[in-house]
Structure 1
């Protein structure tokens, strides 16, 4: 059964402006440890790839928070939700701490897709509840 859906569109130019204004404090606030490693690797190779990665993760967390109906209120927090990729490239959501417990207690599972272009990132999340 569908528990919730969420979508988000993110303007990467706004992410770039925030990154320029706040420096590394912004990705440190938004990204979990696994995401931070990928962000730093991609950013070191090509700045635009790092920016796109940060934007897709920001967008996806916004979409996930909408799908679970909490917005950015506890137990949902930026760093408790990581958007990672399987070896195949397929994105998936890994949750930590209280958010993981909250999610498991409700027997939920999430499906996610995300994409980016030069100026925008978009994400869509479907959360199902097991019967």
Structure 2
């Protein structure tokens, strides 16, 4: 059963402006170490790489119905790639607690994530599914 759905559209130029203005301070406040390493390997599309991940964080916060409050922070939501290369989310802290609170007894959460970008836009969709254990 689907227990959450969220989407977000992020302007890549807005992320580039934040990188230009705040640099590493912005990166470490918003993105996980894994996300920063991935962006560093993509110098020509760094802002786009970050924008997709920013959109994923926003989409997740909408899917769990909290936004960035009640203990859900951006750095608790990290985009990672599964063995197939497909993106998914690695959650910690308040984001993980909130996700687990939504799942009925006898079920486990499964997070689906899709990302895309076409300059100047990046987009993410998150679907949270509860599947029987």
Shorter-chain-normalised TM-score: which range?
Answer: 0.7 to 0.9
Aligned to 1:6: 6
**Counterpart-to-counterpart distance in 1, 2:98 and 2:58:** 17
TM-score when normalising by structure 2: 0.86
Does the Cα contact within 8 Å between 2:13 and 2:47 map onto a contact in 1?
no
Written as runs of structure 1 = structure 2, the 5 A alignment for 1:1-131 is 1-43=1-43, 46=44, 49-105=45-101, 106=103, 107-130=108-131
**Counterpart-to-counterpart distance in 1, 2:46 and 2:37:** 11
Q: Over residues 22-67 of structure 1, what are the superposed CA-to-partner deviations in whole Å (9 max), with x where a residue is unaligned? A: 1121111111121121122222xx2xx1111100000010001000
Tell me how far 1:109 sits from its aligned partner.
2.2
RMSD: 1.6
Unaligned runs of at least 5 residues, structure 1: none
TM-score when normalising by structure 1: 0.87
**Counterpart-to-counterpart distance in 2, 1:20 and 1:35:** 18
**Runs of 4+, deviation exceeding 4 Å:** none
Does the Cα contact within 8 Å between 2:71 and 2:95 map onto a contact in 1?
yes
Q: Say how many residue pairs are matched.
A: 127
